[in-house]
């Protein structure tokens, strides 16, 4: 896809996130909107995958640790062809494959059930270690939040991956600076985050998480690092694209009401028009 097509796709994904959250009447808004560019890059440029064959043995594995942002993953998967887009409107409904946190046995293409924050990197690290033992060539990716760095088991995984030089592992941190109780640096300061990862033998890349070219370049860069696991610290704006949601912790875990959804969709459609005009 061209850059314009990727940017357009990310905006379409944001629109669908708003629609499905409105339909569900519950769910998280800020994180999914903020990670739309990263997930667009993953599903349309980075991952070696076959949506028509989600159990393809050579596929890259994508672990989502902060499972509450699953609306962005579900939407990217639907746009990539894993399941019909119409199914997005079943988010969080009884019997749906699209629950409020991903469940591995419900939806093909989801590698792990996630929910307990801090656990995802440990799962991905174990998978990367085992796949290297088996001589597998696929890569393992793990998306995690900055807030879950408060959990001790996350740092146990960081230490294990660094000790074992898991160069087949790429972690992507959504550095949006908010969590459910407020701003990360007020709740539990994380900085200097880059230096902390480096101290545990990780290769660190700092990027703009809304620059799709930077996301793709960073993931390609990680493939060329042979001595260490790589962490990509993707700086994002929570609620990106919707002015009244951006950078506000109160939008971490609530959906828009009908009037808010109408306003959000208007802003995103206006943004879509600007993307189109900028590339003409």
pLDDT tens string 232-255? 999 999 999 999 999 999 999 999
- Is the pLDDT at 128 greater than 80? The verdict is yes
C-alpha–C-alpha distance, residues 37 and 33, integer Å: 9
- Is the pLDDT at 14 greater than 80? The verdict is yes
CA 139 vs CA 126, 128, 150, 265: distances in Å: 13, 8, 26, 35
What is the arithmetic mean of pLDDT over 191-212?
98
pLDDT of res. 278: 80
Buried b (16+ CB within 10 A) or exposed e, 118-144: bbbbbbbbebbbebbeeebebbbbbbb
Torsion sign (Cα): 72, 73, 76, 81: negative
Q: Are 207 and 215 in contact (CB under 8 A)?
A: yes
pLDDT of res. 164: 98
What is the arithmetic mean of pLDDT over 203-217?
98
Residue-wise pLDDT for 157-184, tens only, equals 999 999 999 999 999 999 999 999 999 9
What's the whole-model pTM score?
0.97
Q: Which two tokens stand for residue 274?
A: 């600007």
Domains in the chain: how many in total? Answer: 1
Peptide bond into 192 cis (omega under 30): yes
C-alpha–C-alpha distance, residues 168 and 29, integer Å: 31
% pLDDT > 70, the chain: 99
Structural domain harbouring 188: 3-278
The residue assigned the tokens 């003409």 is 280
Specify the CATH number for the domain of residue 30: 3.40.50.970
Reading phi first (left if > 0) and then psi (alpha if -120 to 50, else beta), residue 240 is in beta
User: Across the chain, what does the average pLDDT equal?
Assistant: 97
C-alpha–C-alpha distance, residues 71 and 255, integer Å: 11
pLDDT of res. 133: 97
Q: Are 65 and 142 in contact (CB under 8 A)?
A: yes
Q: Are 14 and 267 in contact (CB under 8 A)?
A: no
pLDDT range class, residue 279, cuts 50, 70, 90: low
Q: Which two tokens stand for residue 206?
A: 């700092």
pLDDT of res. 132: 97
Cα angle: 124, vertex 62, 172; to 5 degrees:
75
Nearest to 197 by CA among 139, 147, 155: 155
Residue-wise pLDDT for 33-75, tens only, equals 999 999 999 999 999 999 999 999 999 999 999 999 999 999 9
pLDDT range class, residue 276, cuts 50, 70, 90: confident
């Amino acid at each position: 896809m061209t850059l314009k097509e990727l940017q357009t796709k990310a905006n379409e994904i944001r629109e669908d996130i708003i629609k499905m959250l409105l339909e569900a009447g519950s769910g998280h808004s800020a994180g999914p909107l903020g990670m739309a560019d990263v997930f667009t890059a993953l599903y349309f440029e980075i991952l070696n995958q076959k949506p028509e064959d989600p159990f393809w043995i050579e596929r890259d594995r994508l672990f989502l640790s902060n499972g509450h942002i699953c609306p962005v993953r579900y939407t990217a998967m639907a746009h990539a062809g894993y399941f019909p887009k119409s199914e997005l409107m079943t988010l969080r409904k009884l019997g749906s494959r699209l629950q409020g946190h991903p469940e591995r046995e419900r939806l093909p293409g989801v590698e792990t059930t996630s929910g307990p924050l801090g656990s995802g990197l440990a799962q991905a690290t174990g998978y990367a270690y085992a796949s290297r033992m088996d001589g597998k060539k696929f890569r393992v990716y793990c998306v995690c939040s900055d807030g879950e760095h408060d959990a001790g088991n996350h740092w146990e995984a960081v230490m294990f991956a660094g000790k074992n030089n898991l160069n087949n592992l790429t972690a992507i941190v959504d550095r949006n600076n908010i969590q459910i109780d407020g701003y990360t640096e007020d709740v539990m300061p994380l900085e200097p985050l880059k230096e902390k990862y480096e101290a545990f033998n990780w290769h660190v890349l700092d990027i703009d998480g809304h620059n799709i070219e930077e996301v793709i370049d960073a993931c390609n860069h990680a493939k060329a690092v042979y001595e260490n696991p790589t962490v990509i610290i993707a700086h994002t704006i929570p609620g990106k694209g919707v002015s009244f949601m951006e950078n506000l912790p109160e939008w971490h875990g609530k959906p828009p009401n009908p009037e808010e959804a109408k306003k959000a969709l208007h802003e995103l459609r206006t943004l879509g028009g600007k993307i189109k005009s900028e590339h003409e």
